[in-house]
Amino acid sequence: MDAAERMRAALPVMLRDIETLVTCESPSSDLAAVARSADAVARLGVERLGVEPERVVVDGRTHLRWRFGDGPRRVLVVGHHDTVWPLGTLMTHPFTVDGGVLRGPGCFDMKAGLVLAMHALAALPDRSGVTLLVTGDEEIGSPTSRALVEAEAAGCAAALVLEASAGGGALKLERKGVSRYGVRVRGRAAHAGLEPELGVNATVELAHQVLAVAALADPGRGTTVTPTLMSAGSSANTVPALGEVAVDVRARDAAEQRRVDAAMRALRPVLAGAGVEVSGGPNRPPLPGSASAALFERASAVAAALGLPPLSGVAVGGGSDGNFTAGVGTPTLDGLGAVGGGAHADDEHVLVAELAPRAALVAALVADLLTGDGP
């Protein structure tokens, strides 16, 4: 039985495994829920792979690592088990499989991808050289797992990221780098009716800063600079003394990321007596197309050998742990997880018919990378 046939035969088990993970809710913000989810992922890994994972707990957050011995080449398979969905979401978004479509919170991003990874690795006769790393904080920027991801990726022949695919099952060949900032403005409070002239209006200063920040975007280079959350003031009849705005930055290359970072740190107040403080900075380096090109060609050849449709690839604005693996110089291929749509949205779903072919592709690609030459 070849890999594709084995995956088709395993489809009912895959569906049960996805249900197991989806029905164990794991919002990134809830450490207890993330710990319960890690237990569920660990049990599933033992069932499918026959090996207990190493639990890496950082600041109370649980990450899982399976290392399958030494081999002439090392391949890292990466995923995460935390989601953006709060506890209780299953009450309104239950796990269902209907009409060839699987639904449930976190199914597409990315619990189905974890199941695909486990079934793909289980199909390999020899997993020597493979590491499977499942983190628990990707959705909040990987604050406790970044160093772990980078350390595991360093020296690997390839990193395969089982994040959800792009539209139509496309792989993610480029990801923008991500930076996040907080701009805090200090003014001076005064009575808005009696003596507003004695105040320094933090809302007005914040408006100046928001416009200055937004002007840093460069659509021609694919750089977006987006003010998001904003607040100022304490009451309707008081000149605001404090204000703040969060800023999301996405850039295709490191030079643009540095340009925006320098400009953010150079922000100065416009109003006399106001103050401006900038916090934050780059969170994820870009994943450039050069990090994925050779692996994409290799995956395309593997797909053709399996009789699968030709692969496609796109550039996306969202970040993943693939940004970190590429950042340490490891060839990286992202978006190898489930085919579907609706990540972080009410219509999150997975196409059941694509699960077995995708798992077969991952299994064959890992096997090829372990035995072949080059990335």
| Whether residues 168 and 195 fall in one domain | no
- Both 142 and 237 in a single domain? no
Residues 303 and 171 both lie in one domain = yes
The pLDDT, as a whole number, for residue 373 is: 62
* Domain end marker among 256, 284, 312: 284
How many structural domains are present in the chain?
Answer: 2
Question: Can you give the residue range of the structural domain that contains 84?
Answer: 3-176+286-371
Contact 134, 309 (CB under 8 A): no
Helices 355-371 and 112-122: crossing angle in degrees, nearest 10, is: 50
Judge if 68 and 149 occupy the same domain: yes
Residues 232 and 127 in one domain: no
Q: Quickly count: other Cβ atoms within 10 Å of residue 79's Cβ.
A: 27
- Active centre residues (catalytic): 82, 138
The low-confidence residues of the chain, meaning pLDDT below 70, are 1, 373-375
pLDDT number for residue 6: 87
Q: Tens digits of per-residue pLDDT, 58-84?
A: 999 999 999 998 888 999 999 999 999
Whole-Å CA distances, 305 to 1, 77, 211: 15, 22, 53
What is the domain-level CATH number for residue 347?
3.40.630.10
Domain harbouring 197, CATH code: 3.30.70.360
Could you tell me the two tokens for 153? 């990726």
Note whether 216 and 125 are same-domain residues.
no
Q: Which helix (H) or strand (E) holds 65?
A: strand 61-67
Q: What are phi and psi of 8, to 5 degrees?
A: -65, -40
Together in a domain, 7 and 120: yes
Beta strands in 99-241, from DSSP E residues, in sequence order: 101-103, 130-135, 158-161, 171-175, 177-186, 190-191, 224-232, 238-239
Predicted pLDDT of residue 119: 98
What pLDDT was estimated at residue 278?
A: 99
Token pair listed for 233? 């003031």
Cβ contact 75:129 at 8 Å: yes
pLDDT value at residue 374: 56
> 168 and 189 share a domain?
no
Could you identify the residue written with the tokens 């592709």?
Answer: 361
Q: How many CB atoms lie within 10 A of CB 242?
A: 17
Q: Are residues 111 and 166 in the same domain?
A: yes
What lies within 8 Å, CB to CB, of 2 at 6+ separation is: none
**pLDDT for the residue numbered 2:** 73
- Boundary-marking domain end, from 238, 262, 284: 284
Domain termination residue (choose one: 232, 251, 284): 284
Rounded-to-integer distance, Cα 181 and Cα 193, Å: 34
- Do residue 59 and residue 189 come from a single domain? no
pLDDT at 245: 99
261 and 199 in a common domain:
yes
| Residue range 229-240, pLDDT digits in tens | 999 999 999 999
Query: What do you get for the CA distance between the two ends of the chain, in Å?
Result: 27
pLDDT of residue 375: 59
Residue 5 has what pLDDT? 85
> What does each C-alpha distance from 228 to 231, 246, 249, 279 come to in angstroms?
10, 5, 10, 15
**In this structure, are 59 and 166 located in the same domain?**
yes
Q: % helix / strand / coil in the chain, to the nearest 5? A: 40, 25, 35
